[in-house]
Structure 1
Amino acid sequence: SRTPEIWYGHEAEAHEQLVELYLALGRGDDAVQAVESALTRRRALTRREPHDPLLQRDLAGTLELAAEARELTGALDKAAEHRAEAARLFERYGEDP
């Protein structure tokens, strides 16, 4: 069954912590898998509340993590896409809450 969206923010944070751990350990493939789960949840939240600046900044931060994970696996084009999307969000919504 689907997890209620109320938990998506907490789940995204948990996945992001895993990403940071995997990055520190040099486990790029695991980091990519975890960050994709986090991105899925962050994107669902921003679709539901598209004008919430905090959710948009959270998505931007997750995209930065995604870029790091992709760089570790050598997927530099995908990393650049993530960084560009994050930069657009940070420019529009700011970097600090």
Structure 2
Amino acid sequence: MILIEARDTLMDLGLTDSQLDFSSRWLGKQPSYMSCVVARGQEPSAEALLALAGRITREAMQMRRVFRHAEAAALDALSAKVWSELLARYAGQPEAA
């Protein structure tokens, strides 16, 4: 699941220290959001994925400003995966009336 990969990558980079922090700071959701999604076997909401993609992109830009290019590259790769997930799930879907 993309959320688990994102959480683990961000933890490896030292950008989050817990699943609760990841849910609230990176997904813009309640601290228990990820635990509930995983426990119920649900897909993350488009809103959560969009919030994640935006925050990852902003953090990658910040990393480049301070010459942390390897970390920025890791975040770029993660962002691409999040966007791929979004596009796979929602591209070509009919618009709601």
- Taking structure 2 as the reference length, what is the TM-score of the superposition? 0.50
Matching residue within 26, 46, 49 for 1:53: 46
Alpha-carbon shift at residue 47 of structure 1 (Å):
1.8
Query: Runs in 1 of length 4+ with deviation above 3 angstroms?
Result: 43-46
Q: CA deviation at 1:54?
A: 1.4
Aligned to 1:20: none
Larger RCO: 1 or 2 (CA < 8 Å, sep 6+): 1
Q: Distance in 2 between matches of 1:62 and 1:72?
A: 15
Unaligned runs of 5+ in 2: 1-14, 38-42, 92-97
Q: How many residues align?
A: 60
| Structure with greater helix percent | 1
Aligned-residue RMSD, C-alpha: 3.0
- 1:41-89 CA deviation, whole Å, 9 max, x = no partner? 1257362545212111110111000100000000000000111101100
Larger radius of gyration: 2
* Percent identity between the two aligned chains: 15
Task: Report whether the alignment pairs 1:42 with 2:42.
Answer: no
